[in-house]
């Protein structure tokens, strides 16, 4: 989840996604673990238990759970994090940034007026 997400609400929603699925076992009980503070996200793990006949059934349940998590988080207005990076430009001279029609951005080094021909 994105930094600033309400962690207790996220935990409840993740657990709800599991408990509302018909193939998730009641015992042992599903649980959520707040695993870590990631580079760009708060990392949670949802653990649940199922009885399966084949691997495709497992994959289908995992997919169902992901769809449900996405739906519940969207309804609650909680953002799923994405990588964020800062870009630092080191230049001998400042860069001139010009926004042109069509939302295109061009970046050009500034011209040195003393080098212009008269």
Question: Tell me: the pLDDT tens digits for 5-55?
Answer: 999 999 999 999 999 999 999 999 999 999 999 988 999 999 999 998 999
Is residue 55 in a domain? yes
Is residue 1 in a domain? no
Q: How far apart are CA 11 and CA 28, in angstroms?
A: 17
Q: Determine the pLDDT at residue 78.
A: 95
Q: Determine the pLDDT at residue 97.
A: 79
The whole domain housing 26 covers 7-76
Q: Determine the pLDDT at residue 118.
A: 45
Q: Determine the pLDDT at residue 105.
A: 58
Is residue 87 in a domain? no
Is residue 71 in a domain? yes
Q: Determine the pLDDT at residue 110.
A: 58
Is residue 2 in a domain? no
Bridge partner list, 37: 42
Is residue 60 in a domain? yes
* CA 114 to the chain's CA centroid: 49
**For the chain, what is the domain count?**
1
Q: How far apart are CA 33 and CA 77, in angstroms?
A: 21
Q: Determine the pLDDT at residue 44.
A: 97
pLDDT tens by residue, 70-116: 999 999 999 998 887 788 777 777 878 788 776 655 666 656 555 55
Is residue 18 in a domain? yes
Q: Which residues contact 107 (CB under 8 A, 6 or more apart)?
A: 95, 96, 97, 98
Is residue 43 in a domain? yes
């Amino acid at each position: 989840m994105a930094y600033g997400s309400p962690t207790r609400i996220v935990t409840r929603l993740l657990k709800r996604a599991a408990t509302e699925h018909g193939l998730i076992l009641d015992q042992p009980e599903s649980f959520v673990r707040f695993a870590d503070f990631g580079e760009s996200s708060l990392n949670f793990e949802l653990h649940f238990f199922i009885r399966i006949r084949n691997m495709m059934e497992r994959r289908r349940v995992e997919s169902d759970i992901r769809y449900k998590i996405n739906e519940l988080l969207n309804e609650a207005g909680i953002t799923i994090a994405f990588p964020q990076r800062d870009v630092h430009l080191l230049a001998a001279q400042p860069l001139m940034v010009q926004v042109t029609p069509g939302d295109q951005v061009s970046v050009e080094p500034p011209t040195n007026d003393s080098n212009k021909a008269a």
